[in-house]
Amino acid sequence: MKNIYIFFTLSFLLFGCGGNKQTSKSEDKTHLKPNIILVYLDDLGYGDISVNGAKGFTTPNIDFLAQNGVNFTNAYASSATCTPSRYALMTGQYPWKKKGAHILSGTDPLLIDTAQITLPKMLRKEGYQTAIIGKWHLGLGQGEKNWNKHISPGPNEVGFDQSYIMAATQDRVPTVYIENGNVVGLDPNDPIEVNYKKNFEGQPTGKKNPELTTMKWHHEHNNTIINGIPRIGYMKGGQSALWNDVEMADHFLDKVKDYIKINSSKKQPFFLAYTMQQPHVPRTPHPRFVGKSGKGPRGDVIVEADWCIGELIKSIQEAGIEENTLIILSSDNGPVLNDGYYDDAVELLGDHDPAGGLRGGKYSLFEAGTHVPFITYWKGQIHPLASDALVCQLDLFASLASLVGSDEMATDSENVLDALVGKSKEGRQNLVIEATSRTAFRKGNYVLIPPYKGGKINKKVNIELGNSKEMALYNLKEDPSQRKNIAQENPQLVEALYDEFKTIRGEDKKHQTK
């Protein structure tokens, strides 16, 4: 018996480091594969968690994961906005290679090709049950769609066995939950109509009827009013299916808990994408969390999100699967304060720095746009570590493929599994980052931002965009806040980095032929 125990223990440890691919494909050994839970927050900045220096409030549950796992200080989303980052995460492909990979409306068609290999498809081939609960924002259907019938294609057609989602964002219509392609709680006698260009006759809006709102809009968020909140886009009908904003965090969390409870007892491993809405606008904390941060609704929903993550951890522990569950936590892009509503995010900021000392924020090519929190936790397999390895959400495809023994490959994803599990501080060598179709190049300690036309500041959100008439080069090790442009002092380095950047971008035919 002792020898059998040692054999299975060694097999598990070896598998956790990449494993034997032939063994991993055996159906009778799927129980050796860890469950994988991706916790993906929305607009959470690098400095928005207390382990990374948050001021005025704490995030003890996120800190628990960071202090008992790998807390990455040099990790990135692919992009400074949500849809492109989510596309990269799900496909392992740079979003700037995909036409239409920009912030989608609630009515845009599915961005991912249903024939394309995806992260959930790859894991499903390796015996995983797959699910997504929370925000989707990668499009649904094939164009014009009838929200009162089954909506397809969507998450279920690109690899998820189960999906319980919002179509786009909390501030966009339609404001309903969608389960496996069907609107939840819809009354067929009160059909849903959605339009992003034209309002429906007789429908009040935030712009024309501010007296009907409970949240004051700042920019763009002034169309159909639902639950007192003016939204982006116009919607009519579907009253029985409308979500309750204040209860949304609890609602998604309950679905997550149920999923874990049901699937933890199965021999089949699971992949769960828990895609949270916090701290994206509109920030609607449950009354239990109102005023808890001292930073207004933005801080309160971060505290709320941290509590949800604590409940997630408890659920895993109670199910007895903590030692066989890999948790990956990150954010789709960097922080933004006023992003469409007046909610005192700016006024109550105090000495808290959501960007954690980095420059810029959401929408920006500067570091704070894509340099985000990134934590991996796996009890008994990952030991506490602060890592400066260069990793990107883009790399989850190749890294998790290695973990579970898959031969599937994605175009731009790199295998950084050893870094993710804390066995190495070496990550990828370079990275192209993107912000609203503009790209920059990270390699080693340096980031190169080419010249771009346009304003230097997004005045709506008061964030520097990274646009300049001149080439910009920053040494992030010496100047993480990007205050000193050293391009003119280093012409040869600029040329070398720019040549490599153009080659990766496919813009230099001379290099492509080599």
Tokens (6 digits) for 191: 């059909």
Q: In the structure, what pLDDT confidence band is assigned to residue 266 with cuts at 50, 70 and 90?
A: confident
CA distances from 446 to 30, 118, 331, 493 (A): 42, 31, 23, 10
Nearby residues of 428 by Cβ (< 8 Å), 6 or more positions away: 390, 391, 392, 395, 414, 416
Q: In the structure, what pLDDT confidence band is assigned to residue 265 with cuts at 50, 70 and 90?
A: confident
The region of weakest confidence among 224-228, 271-275, 505-509 is 505-509
Please choose, from the candidates 148, 84, 144, the residue with its C-alpha nearest in 3D space to the C-alpha of residue 111. Answer: 84
Contact 398, 93 (CB under 8 A): no
Q: In the structure, what pLDDT confidence band is assigned to residue 27 with cuts at 50, 70 and 90?
A: very low
Residue 19 pLDDT > 80: no
Question: What per-residue confidence (pLDDT) applies to 508?
Answer: 59
* Integer Cα distance of 377 and 230 in angstroms: 39
How many residues are present in the chain? 514
- Predicted TM-score (pTM) of this structure: 0.93
Q: In the structure, what pLDDT confidence band is assigned to residue 313 with cuts at 50, 70 and 90?
A: very high
Residue 7 pLDDT > 70: no
* Integer Cα distance of 439 and 452 in angstroms: 10
pLDDT in tens, 90-120: 999 999 999 999 999 999 999 999 999 999 9
DSSP assigned state of 138: S
Q: H or E stretch including 64? A: helix 60-67
Mean pLDDT of 242-251: 98
pLDDT in tens, 154-187: 999 999 999 999 999 999 999 999 999 999 999 9
Residue 55 pLDDT > 90: yes
* Integer Cα distance of 144 and 289 in angstroms: 39
Mean pLDDT of 361-385: 98
Question: What per-residue confidence (pLDDT) applies to 104?
Answer: 97
Question: What per-residue confidence (pLDDT) applies to 33?
Answer: 94
Mean pLDDT of 4-27: 39
Residue 23 pLDDT > 80: no
**Average pLDDT over the chain, rounded to whole?**
93
Q: In the structure, what pLDDT confidence band is assigned to residue 507 with cuts at 50, 70 and 90?
A: confident
**DSSP codes of every residue in 221-274:** --SBEETTEE-BSEEE--GGGB--GGGHHHHHHHHHHHHHHHHTTSSS-EEEEE
Residue 3 pLDDT > 70: no
Regarding beta strands 182-183 and 177-179, do their DSSP bridges make them parallel or antiparallel, or are they unpaired? antiparallel
* Integer Cα distance of 155 and 78 in angstroms: 20
Q: In the structure, what pLDDT confidence band is assigned to residue 210 with cuts at 50, 70 and 90?
A: very high
pLDDT in tens, 297-308: 999 999 999 999
Regarding beta strands 75-76 and 391-392, do their DSSP bridges make them parallel or antiparallel, or are they unpaired? parallel
What's the order of all strands across the beta sheet hosting 438-443? 430-435, 438-443, 446-449, 472-475
Q: In the structure, what pLDDT confidence band is assigned to residue 374 with cuts at 50, 70 and 90?
A: very high
Contact 337, 301 (CB under 8 A): no
Question: What per-residue confidence (pLDDT) applies to 267?
Answer: 86
